[in-house]
Structure 1
Amino acid sequence: MTERQNREARPVRPARKVGAAAKRATSDRGLPDGAQRAAGRNATGPGETRPGDARPSGADQRVATFGRMAKEPVGRLGAGAGAGTGSNAGTGAKAGGIAIADLRARFRAAVGQKQGWVRHWQECYEFALPQRNGASEQPGASGGVSGGEKKFDRVFDATAPDAVEQLAASLMAEITPPSGGWFAFEPGGNVADADRDILTARLARAASILQGHFDRSNFAVEMHQAFLDLVTAGTACLRLEADDFLSPSAFRFGAVPLRELAFEERSDGRMDAVFRKLSLTRDEIARQWPEARLPDRDRDEGQSPRRYAVVEAVLPDPGISGGYQLCVFFEDDGAVSGGSGGADGVLHRDRFEVSPYIAFRWMKAPGEVYGRSPVMKALPDIKTANKVVELVLKNASIAVTGIWQADDDGVLNPEAIRLVPGSIIPKAVGSAGLTPLDAPGRFDVSDLVLSDLRDRIRRCLLADRLGQSDQPGMTATEVLERASENARLLGATYGRLQAELLYPLIRRAIHILVRRGELPDMPLDGDVVQLRHSAPLAQLPKRVQAGQAMDWLSRIATLGPEALGEVDMPHMVRWLADQFGVPDHLLRPVLPPVEPSVEPMVEMAVMEDAP
């Protein structure tokens, strides 16, 4: 049985490959688009209902138009992983895509627009997150000499680094908790009521499969790194690639540092045009793009492998079909010369159906492409507190070791003095000898200034707002008020992250699993299937409403049993269960109402008519 027949016949993941076959990428480029969609629709098991089957028969054709299957292979290793077979690599200047001259011009323009931010990012990383300096060009940034150097030499106050890590951890726990359960699928508004129960069960199974791949991947590690970049620089980028079949998960994530990236923003505000600059050797290029035309020269005069500046561009396809064009090329058009080198420097051309790059921002100023972070707002206080602590430490060293003064009496020799216990210091008659100099600094004033600065830093970075919301000693009302305050503080940021992070992330993940045949084609259009965010931060408004309802119920109870009798308790309990996210299987099933039988009514009517 061929691999294509195996994918169409089996609803689960294809059989694991072994040996060299596990490293080869698979592709559906030999199949027409209709066959690819059919393979995706047939990926359900026997007796399993697809999301499209739950709709009226007249809508099935419309559902099929939403589910275009991906055209990139699965399991491709390297920076270009997830793209197609690369049959158009290096074939001319145009090659059915954007001209290479236009690509280089757009790349230079994007890099020029980014230069105004680099110095600002460097300061933010230097004082708030020095261990992950994602903005500066350092030797180990792109595969060069490995790092390991000290990063805290200029940091004297750790308030900002600690607050940044706390805020990133809070975002991770509130938006994408590692424990899972931060998303769910629900039937859309155009699904018939009779089909909702079946579709709900199938969507719950799809969400469970998707969550399992997230749990088995490196999502938690890389997502936390991306949140650190978001809090520090205001802009972060996550790359989601399809892993090979030998891996426990179909996903492979990577938090891409800002030093490698340059973005373009569309007129509608989407930041999905990505340029990524890499530094690769000839062997690395050959491994990642085997069909690429390689440079002839491999080593410099020092016999070290020569590194080439390679740009990976993922840009929206201006054509009618949509998707994204992938083009990998040398930054310098003269990098390739000689027998096997192409004249345009293109290494690889292909396309994505869904972009693997997910760029998101904390907040955005009008007319700017990149986002602004809370660290940028607190940067003046961070730098001031750092300087105050530096001066306090210098003053403390003077207070501990002391500064001494001596009269030049011709007897005391400062170079021969040893300040050790039991030492004898000679001095002339009438001379004051060696006397300590009083330190001019006042520690109480510096402590007051430093305390105020640290409070403002924590307030700007929300370190004192997003802490534990159910601390011991807090009443239920205080917990709800704390939750309401968190929702108010992060409301605008969470709305932006929903649009720029969560929805593209789930869409890309579903696309990969549909491509592998593990999920049916699921259009997240809100018509057939809608995505519901069920993260703790998304549940805060519901919990606030539930708290208000419970407060109202307690007030009603004081009016007596007649007032409580006006409350529909079964519906109240089920509504509270939904607000608090209680699973449905913990509640008793609702039995349908029993309709009165017709025969007893007829008998009663006959008896009444009888004489």
Structure 2
Amino acid sequence: MARRRYKTADADPQAGKSALEAHKKRHEKAWSDRDLWQKFYDDAYEFAIPYRRPSSRIGKAAETIERVFDGTAIESSFRAAGQLHADLFPPDFFKLGAGAISKISLSQDQLDKLNAELEAITTIVSAFFQTGEFDLASSEMCIDLLVGTGSLFPVEGDARTPVRFVCIPFDELAIEVDAYGKVVAIFWKSRLSRRAIKAAFKDGKFPAKFEDHLREKPDEEIEILQDFILDQDTGHWTFCVWLCDSESFVKEDEYKTQPLAVPRYHRVPGEPYGRGPILLALPTIKTLNKAVELTLKAAAIQMLGIWGYRPGAFNPDTVRLGPGEMWPMQSTGGVLGPDVSRLDASAGKVDLGNIITQELRLQVQSMLGDDKLPADGATPRSATEIMERMKRIQKNYMGAWARIVNEVIPVIVMRVMEILARRQIKGVPSIDIDALLVKIDVMSPITQAIKASAHQRIIEFIELVIAIKGQPMAAELIVKVDDALRKIGEDQLPRSLLTTKDEQKALEQKMQEAAIAVAAAQAQAGNKKAA
């Protein structure tokens, strides 16, 4: 593929202004807009998924749970991420099929041939998703997606592993969207050693200072910036790599498809980033954490007590409220009291901690979609209550489902197909997927459930016709039953498991011949018996 240099509207070659200088302004604007929301992201990661943050942001081996006193949000986040992963990426989670224009313009024989070819391509492409690396990267993406925005990056590998999968931490990403909310630029900021940078971009044009430091300090980590920019005229993406002290791009490349998926959960108009269940539940999570913290402090005071001693002058501005604290007092009891006396801090205590925290835990679990069954020994909930809770979560989930699916699966499938075509993998041609000629059908459980609800209307109408007419064969007079069942089967099953129309006619002919033979045998047996 011919490579094209990245051009920006601000670049002015006559004035000596390079494309990189103009690009830096766009890069800085995207990151400055993202930093406005960093406080909310910091709290979401700290209280719900504390070990998900990269070392480039918080440092290596940093302690991230000093302020966490309750693990409900952490547990529920991983349960919800696991459920989201199971719903998005079951085995054979996609298939290629003929688009709307192909179905109209091609004959049935041509359409069957096209679908057979696309199914063969699907089988080959699917094999590259059946790796532990894809499962790991997609699982990490689902965790970040619960905050609001995730990423999944199919990377071109080597001859042994043509496709690799990486989940870029959300802390290292900034994005830019157009007027319709579509992602048009992705900015990736990370830290790597000079040795790793040189190995990743062996043919890159590095500054002379980088080459000098590479020889002196090859393992020192520096910031590297890798950006992906959409050319809205051609629909292609430009990949550009640069360093902070670069005067020109280290490397540029061009891709026909979007290089990485950046799915977003719920999105507020005017905001480029998503808002996930963790961000929506953050006030309740922080309230629960503070309630548990105060409960633990109260329990510690009850265990170790607060002690008063005399002589002394009590000063409320200097004494500390904590377990085992010593308070100076003028009197500790009658006739000034003993020299040291324990103060009864629990007198008149009303224990509301467990009541409050239990209700808050249920709210957090509900908002994160963690509607697991009660533990053994707990008060059992009725089947009706459990079903209603599941229906509520499913409806809330489906509100963001279309966005998540469209921003993940078509992107990574098309990207993997481009990688395989570039590496000339046998059986994977370079084809355009536009939903008109060739489309991607998502086979995830929730998508299948949505299709099943549409199929239900067909089935209910056929049942209605049979109920009114009173004869099963009467439905054939109004509905093309075979075509309706074939349509349902094409949406639910791989095409290889369905018979073609020619195979169906041949089977019908055999069934008719078998029925005629049985009838003739019965008639012959009846004639012999009569004789």
Superposed pair shares fold, TM > 0.5: yes
User: Which runs of structure 2 are paired with 1:387-536 in the superposition (5 Å)?
Assistant: 387-403=290-306, 437-440=344-347, 442=349, 444-464=351-371, 487-518=394-425, 519-536=428-445
Which residue number in structure 2 is paired with residue 606 of structure 1? none
Q: Is the 1:238–1:254 Cα contact (8 Å) retained in structure 2?
A: yes
Does structure 1 residue 538 correspond to structure 2 residue 447?
A: yes
Cα distance in 2 between the residues matched to 1:524 and 1:303: 46
Paired residue type of 1:375? I
SS in 1 for 2:174: strand
Q: Is the 2:175–2:183 Cα contact (8 Å) retained in structure 1?
A: yes
> Cα offset for 1:241?
0.8
Q: Is the 1:264–1:273 Cα contact (8 Å) retained in structure 2?
A: yes
Paired residue type of 2:223? A
Gap change, CA 1:443 and 1:295, over 3 Å in 2: farther
Which residue number in structure 1 is paired with residue 187 of structure 2? 275
Gap change, CA 1:217 and 1:199, over 3 Å in 2: farther
Does structure 1 residue 101 correspond to structure 2 residue 14?
A: no
Higher relative contact order (CA 8 A, sep 6+): 1
Which residue number in structure 2 is paired with residue 242 of structure 1? 156
Q: Is the 1:484–1:540 Cα contact (8 Å) retained in structure 2?
A: no
Q: Work out which of the residue numbers 85, 93, 118 in structure 2 matches 1:182.
A: 93
Cα distance in 2 between the residues matched to 1:353 and 1:464: 42
> Cα offset for 1:429?
12
SS in 1 for 2:441: strand
Q: Work out which of the residue numbers 215, 223, 226 in structure 1 matches 2:138.
A: 223
> Cα offset for 1:158?
1.0
Gap change, CA 1:440 and 1:388, over 3 Å in 2: farther
Which residue number in structure 2 is paired with residue 264 of structure 1? 176
Which residue number in structure 1 is paired with residue 163 of structure 2? 251
Q: What are the superposed Cα offsets for residues 223-281 of structure 1, whole Å, 9 maximum, x if unpaired?
A: 1101111102x11122211110122xx21111111222222112332213112223344
> Cα offset for 1:523?
2.0
Q: Is the 1:118–1:135 Cα contact (8 Å) retained in structure 2?
A: no
Gap change, CA 1:431 and 1:497, over 3 Å in 2: closer
> Cα offset for 1:122?
0.5
SS in 1 for 2:270: coil
Cα distance in 1 between the residues matched to 2:465 and 2:49: 52
Does structure 1 residue 199 correspond to structure 2 residue 114?
A: yes
SS in 1 for 2:63: coil
Q: Work out which of the residue numbers 124, 141, 146 in structure 1 matches 2:44.
A: 124
- How much identity, in percent, do the aligned residues show? 24
Which residue number in structure 1 is paired with residue 69 of structure 2? 156
> Cα offset for 1:359?
1.2
Q: Is the 1:135–1:257 Cα contact (8 Å) retained in structure 2?
A: no
> Cα offset for 1:134?
5.1
Does structure 1 residue 168 correspond to structure 2 residue 77?
A: no
Q: What are the superposed Cα offsets for residues 122-177 of structure 1, whole Å, 9 maximum, x if unpaired?
A: 011001110112598222xxxxxxx3343222111111111111111111111112
Gap change, CA 1:484 and 1:545, over 3 Å in 2: farther
Cα distance in 1 between the residues matched to 2:171 and 2:213: 26
> Cα offset for 1:329?
1.9
Cα distance in 2 between the residues matched to 1:480 and 1:566: 37
Question: What count of residue pairs does the alignment treat as equivalent?
Answer: 464
TM-score (normalizing by structure 1): 0.65
Cα distance in 2 between the residues matched to 1:447 and 1:184: 50
Q: Is the 1:459–1:465 Cα contact (8 Å) retained in structure 2?
A: no
Q: Which has the higher helix share?
A: 2
Q: Work out which of the residue numbers 287, 305, 314 in structure 1 matches 2:199.
A: 287
Cα distance in 2 between the residues matched to 1:109 and 1:382: 32
Q: What are the superposed Cα offsets for residues 515-539 of structure 1, whole Å, 9 maximum, x if unpaired?
A: 2223023221233322111111101
- Which residues of structure 2 form unaligned runs of 5+? 312-333, 375-380, 510-531
Q: What are the superposed Cα offsets for residues 4-57 of structure 1, whole Å, 9 maximum, x if unpaired?
A: xxxxxxxxxxxxxxxxxxxxxxxx66xxxxxxxxxxxxxxxxxxxxxxxxxxxx
SS in 2 for 1:328: strand
Cα distance in 1 between the residues matched to 2:385 and 2:297: 44
> Cα offset for 1:491?
2.2
Q: What are the superposed Cα offsets for residues 189-217 of structure 1, whole Å, 9 maximum, x if unpaired?
A: 32321212222222111111111110036
Paired residue type of 1:259? D
Q: What are the superposed Cα offsets for residues 426-469 of structure 1, whole Å, 9 maximum, x if unpaired?
A: xx9997786662515856412221122112112211222899xx
Cα distance in 2 between the residues matched to 1:556 and 1:194: 32
Gap change, CA 1:578 and 1:474, over 3 Å in 2: farther
SS in 2 for 1:351: strand
SS in 1 for 2:209: coil
Gap change, CA 1:310 and 1:134, over 3 Å in 2: closer
> Cα offset for 1:286?
2.5
Cα distance in 1 between the residues matched to 2:155 and 2:78: 26
Q: Is the 1:325–1:352 Cα contact (8 Å) retained in structure 2?
A: yes
Q: Is the 1:313–1:326 Cα contact (8 Å) retained in structure 2?
A: yes
Q: What are the superposed Cα offsets for residues 41-94 of structure 1, whole Å, 9 maximum, x if unpaired?
A: xxxxxxxxxxxxxxxxxxxxxxxxxxxxxx6xxxxxxxxxxxx9x999xxx996
Gap change, CA 1:554 and 1:94, over 3 Å in 2: same
> Cα offset for 1:324?
1.9
User: Which runs of structure 2 are paired with 1:354-373 in the superposition (5 Å)?
Assistant: 354-373=257-276
SS in 2 for 1:376: helix
Does structure 1 residue 562 correspond to structure 2 residue 459?
A: no
Cα distance in 1 between the residues matched to 2:62 and 2:220: 24
Cα distance in 2 between the residues matched to 1:108 and 1:349: 19
Q: Is the 1:135–1:259 Cα contact (8 Å) retained in structure 2?
A: no
Q: What are the superposed Cα offsets for residues 405-443 of structure 1, whole Å, 9 maximum, x if unpaired?
A: 6788xxxxxxxxxxxxxxxxxxx9997786662515856
SS in 2 for 1:263: strand
SS in 1 for 2:75: helix
User: Which runs of structure 2 are paired with 1:312-351 in the superposition (5 Å)?
Assistant: 312-317=226-231, 320-332=233-245, 344-351=247-254
Gap change, CA 1:166 and 1:553, over 3 Å in 2: farther
Gap change, CA 1:536 and 1:303, over 3 Å in 2: closer
Which residue number in structure 1 is paired with residue 225 of structure 2? 311
Q: Is the 2:186–2:228 Cα contact (8 Å) retained in structure 1?
A: yes
SS in 2 for 1:451: helix
Which residue number in structure 1 is paired with residue 127 of structure 2? 212
Q: Is the 1:272–1:357 Cα contact (8 Å) retained in structure 2?
A: no
Gap change, CA 1:201 and 1:396, over 3 Å in 2: same
Cα distance in 2 between the residues matched to 1:511 and 1:583: 24
Q: Is the 2:99–2:437 Cα contact (8 Å) retained in structure 1?
A: yes
SS in 1 for 2:470: helix
Gap change, CA 1:451 and 1:513, over 3 Å in 2: same
Paired residue type of 1:104? K
Gap change, CA 1:181 and 1:289, over 3 Å in 2: closer
Paired residue type of 1:373? G
> Cα offset for 1:317?
2.8
C-alpha RMSD of the superposition: 4.4
